[in-house]
Amino acid sequence: EVELVESGGGSVQAGSSLTLGCTASGPTSDEATMGWYRQVAGEHCELVSSISRFGNPYYLESVEGRFTISRDSAENTVHLQMTNLKPEDSAVYYCAADLTGLGLRKTALVGGDDFDAWGQGTQVTVSS
């Protein structure tokens, strides 16, 4: 079973920066595409960014140029550096790992399903 432990998050002013961290453990966790979802409405989440085991990144259009995802394969850790934060970036952010080899979906419900593993979530609040 893949387990994800998140770090980071908090409350900041608009224009500030935050870095989220996620460490994965368990079988094949070093091969999984990993990324970050954020909760947008009810139980619905959008994929903010992801990175494959080969280092190929994906970014949600609204965060392109402001967020940077990176991966330390030796440590099985993924970081999401968030700069120039906006109030609309406020959300609970969840680290996720794909268990299928097919990548993370662009939308999901909180907690995912049998095809991915999720962390417990970390709150990001950006005030104007």
CA angle 48, 52, 55 (to 5 degrees): 100
The phi, psi pair for 117, rounded to 5°, reads: -115, 145
Nearest to 53 by CA among 67, 74, 37: 74
The enclosing H or E element of 4 equals strand 3-7
User: Distance between CA 5 and CA 39 in Å, rounded?
Assistant: 18
Tell me, what's the pLDDT at 41? Answer: 87
Mind listing the pLDDT tens digit for each residue in 96-110? 999 888 899 999 999
User: Distance between CA 18 and CA 50 in Å, rounded?
Assistant: 17
Residue 70 has pLDDT above 90, yes or no: yes
